[in-house]
Amino acid sequence: MDVYKINGGNRLKGTLKVSGAKNSAVALIPASILANSSVTIGGIPEISDAWTLKALLEEIGGEVSFKDGQMIIDPTNMLAIPLPNGNVKKLRASYYLMGAMLGRFKKAVIGLPGGCFLGPRPIDQHIKGFEALGAKVTNEHGAIYLRADELIGAKIYLDVASVGATINIMLAAVRAKGRTIIENAAKEPEIIDVATLLTNMGANIKGAGTSVIRIDGVEELHGTKHTIIPDRIEASTFMIMAAAIGDGVTIDNIIPLHLEAVTAKLREMGVKIEEGEESVFIPRTDVLQAVDVKTLVYPGFPTDVQQPLSVLMTQAVGASKVTDTIYTARFKHIDELRRMNANARVEGNSAIIQGPTKLHGSKVTATDLRAGAALVLAGLIADGETEIQDIYHIERGYSSLIEKLCALGADIRRETIEVSSVKRAK
């Protein structure tokens, strides 16, 4: 099995470039199904989720090439082929195939999606939206069956401002008859990115990025070219790494506006951040102060960033508290950090972290994508060698992570070890 091995203590210095947004890519790729000719999407991160979606589009008859971050998708010969299992189980965002295939073919069969296990993440809001547009939705043998004679615009109020449901309903509604209004829509930048692609394809969407989105259905959508927005979660992860063990790091290809909540919290901890138009520079930080953080939907502090930030908190003076209001099961990394000598505990939906403490290298397991990123950071600042197992989680969301960190001076490598010799950390 493949692991990451990190020798901690090397300070990071230099410039790195952020990849395109994972959370955009996983929605933009399925959105191409709705076009009647070729769609080109640039800046896609080279992550396993992107390769999985490429395979899924090929399974339903798409012609797809993916090279140097550019995906060219020809959806002309796609068919509404059922996707009950296989690749569809590998990533949570495969649910976007429901909205896209429903929008184009008026029917779809999609296996219940996989991805990181972060506690219950029901798709009831997605289903409610599809039903409002006129689809019949049933769960048969662990797959979701969607069928509609025709889709007709409707007013849909989301009980929870869910990014996935907002995008999925948009995908289904762009070719429905009449007007769809999504109220209490999520406002994340990735939603604006998907709306931009769909608008470039000929869709009529107003209000993306606000809590009310209006969509007037059109007869058909055509191919287009689009470049994805930078990944604000990857950018935040590197900003935290620069604050923890940087000697002057420039992070390039970012949209500072998307990072405001993270930037403000890092400044509160005593980190200096110099903003450019599309980059930030973080000089060396010697003393960090404890802070309290509560995760919220955008534009609040992102749940995807609390795990890396909790590692930075182990180096801050005093007691820090992280409260996650989005995903209850997002503290599995705390047990792993304690194995590395962190002074931390979980109380309900909060983690309390006392610092500063010296972390020690250890054998740890990435339980999900962002927990994996947190453990990479912990390994970079720990004494001795850290071995991270189950790295496939990390590679679902971070493109060329080893290369980017090595270019800054980190001592991190990927190694294949004999499974028999793996003493699973218990």
The residue whose two tokens read 């769909």 is: 198
Annotation marks residue 116 as catalytic: yes
The residues that bridge with 42 in the sheet, in sequence order, are 227
Q: How far apart are CA 191 and CA 112, in angstroms?
A: 22
Query: Which listed residue (57, 71, 116, 137) is catalytic?
Result: 116
Residue 349 labelled as part of a binding site: no
Q: How far apart are CA 301 and CA 298, in angstroms?
A: 7
Residue 251, amino acid? I
The residue whose two tokens read 């952020």 is: 18
Closest CA to 125 of 176, 181, 185, 212: 185
Residue 125 labelled as part of a binding site: yes
Residue 121 labelled as part of a binding site: yes
- Phi, psi angles (nearest 5°) of residue 134: 110, 10
> Are the beta carbons of 126 and 158 closer than 8 angstroms?
no
Residue 7 labelled as part of a binding site: no
Q: How far is CA 194 from CA 29, 67, 127, 227, 413, in A?
A: 10, 21, 20, 11, 35
Q: Is 200 helix (H, G, I), strand (E, B) or coil?
A: helix
Q: How far apart are CA 119 and CA 298, in angstroms?
A: 20
Kind plus residue range of the DSSP H or E element containing 129? helix 124-132
> Are the beta carbons of 331 and 341 closer than 8 angstroms?
no
Closest CA to 393 of 44, 29, 48, 23: 48
Residue 123 labelled as part of a binding site: yes
Residue 110 labelled as part of a binding site: no
Residue 304 labelled as part of a binding site: yes
DSSP 8-state assignment for residue 209: T
Residue 308 labelled as part of a binding site: no
Binding-site residues for UDP-N-acetyl-alpha-D-glucosamine: 92, 121-125, 304, 326
Annotated binding site: 22-23, 92, 121-125, 304, 326
Q: Which residues are annotated as a binding site for phosphoenolpyruvate?
A: 22-23
Which residues are the active-site residues?
A: 116
